[in-house]
Amino acid sequence: MREEDIPFVQEIERQSQMTPWSALTYRREIRNRQACRYVVARAESQPPNGRSPHTEYPLLIRMLQRIGLILPTLHPATPIVGYGGIWLNETSGHITTIAVAPAHRRRGVGELILNALIDGAYELHAEYLSLEVRVSNLTAQRLYLKYGFRPVGQRANYYTDNQEDALVMWTDPINTTTYKDRLRELRQQLYERLRQQANQVTAESPRSGPIVG
Ligand SMILES: CC(C)(COP(=O)(O)OP(=O)(O)OC[C@H]1O[C@@H](n2cnc3c(N)ncnc32)[C@H](O)[C@@H]1OP(=O)(O)O)[C@@H](O)C(=O)NCCC(=O)NCCS
């Protein structure tokens, strides 16, 4: 995630009805390379007329971005479809946020982002992964369960918008052969799924699947 991505990330955040973060918070997190990793997933696509203002007028766009004048309609040539972040809290890589744009859900993008965050956790020398999730958010919980997170407790009234409780989830140690073998299997399955989807899409139109960067 780069600073110029923040407005697009915030748009997905709004669509996902998550507690919004300020642009300042995102900037602070992105700059904290000692303890944080933030990623976005982009959909490779061509604008309808084959031209994008970002590729045609890169200097102008960069100037507008620098002075904070980003027009929401001027999306990057490869639009952002999801994002996520992780923060090293002592020994644990703590997932701070993750969301996929509603139109791009259920196609493996969330899983792809989670994998990028797990790579970030390894890079930061984390020993475990942890997170909080709304007790009602069974969709996200299923994604986490798939990657070895287990419920270890609850925090009462954790979410200030509706006083909902948070479920606290942790993985087993991630540097064991057991965890790494399971991760490799899951990644192979995900890769196969994304490859098949990309083939299908390519057969239908020139658009293709997501990439994380
Ligand atoms: C949670 C979220 C990121 C998942 O993203 P996604 O791209 O739709 O998920 P994927 O397609 O990668 O699915 C991965 C796994 O998540 C679970 N999952 C995702 N959507 C699901 C759904 N609608 N119902 C049940 N399980 C679901 C499944 O375990 C799925 O694996 P499977 O395909 O083998 O069944 C997305 O739903 C989202 O942005 N939600 C709103 C924001 C949010 O709740 N963030 C979490 C805050 S803690």
Q: Tell me if 132 sits within 8 A of 109, measured CB to CB.
A: no
Residue 95 Cβ < 6 Å to ligand 1 = no
Residue 152 is given by DSSP the state E
130 has pLDDT over 70:
yes
pLDDT at 25: 97
Asked if residue 110 has its Cβ within 6 Å of ligand 1, the reply is: yes
Q: Residue whose CA is closest, atom 25 of ligand 1?
A: 139
In this prediction, what percent of the chain has a pLDDT beyond 90?
73
Report the alpha-carbon angle 77-30-163, nearest 5.
105
Model pLDDT, residue 128: 98
Residue 211: predicted pLDDT? 65
Bridge partners (DSSP) of residue 41 are 82, 212
In angstroms, what is the span from residue 56 Cα to ligand 1's centroid?
35
Q: Residues with Cβ < 8 Å from 122, sequence gap 6 or more?
A: 174
114 lines ligand 1 (CB under 6 A): no
How many whole angstroms from 182 Cα to the centroid of ligand 1? Answer: 19
List C-alpha distances in Å: 211 to 21, 54, 64, 150, 155.
24, 18, 26, 28, 34
Average predicted confidence (pLDDT) for the chain: 88
AA identity, residue 141: Q
- Strand order through the sheet with 166-170: 150-155, 166-170, 128-134, 92-100, 80-89, 36-43, 210-212
Segment 103-119 mean pLDDT: 96
- Ligand 1 atom showing the smallest separation from residue 143 Cα: 16
Using CA atoms, how far apart are residues 133 and 1, in angstroms rounded to an integer? 22
Q: How far is CA 193 from CA 43, 98, 189, in A?
A: 16, 20, 6
Task: Look at the block and give the residue holding tokens 């084959």.
Answer: 50
- Does the Cβ of 88 fall within 6 Å of ligand 1? no
Distance CA 197, CA 33 (A): 33
State how many domains the chain has: 1
CATH number at residue 176: 3.40.630.30
User: pTM of this prediction?
Assistant: 0.86
Q: Which band of pLDDT confidence, cut at 50, 70 and 90, is reported for residue 173?
A: very high
Instruction: Identify the band that residue 200 occupies on the pLDDT scale cut at 50, 70 and 90.
Output: confident
Q: Name which residue sits closest to atom 4 of ligand 1, judged by CA.
A: 110
Indicate if ligand 1 lies below 6 Å from the C-beta of 108. yes
* Model confidence pLDDT, tens digit, residues 48-93: 455 655 556 666 666 666 665 555 555 566 799 999 999 999 999 9
pLDDT of residue 104: 94
Cα 39–chain centre separation: 6
**Cβ(62)–Cβ(13) below 8 Å:** no
Q: Residue 78's pLDDT is what?
A: 78
Give the residue, by CA position, lying nearest to ligand 1 atom 18.
139
Kindly give the pairing relationship between strand 166-170 and strand 128-134: antiparallel
Q: Which residues are catalytically annotated?
A: 132, 144
| Residue range(s) defining the domain that contains residue 120 | 3-212
Distance, in Å, from the CA atom of 209 to the CA atom of 15, rounded to the nearest integer, reads: 21
Angle at 111 between CA 34 and CA 189, to 5 degrees: 120
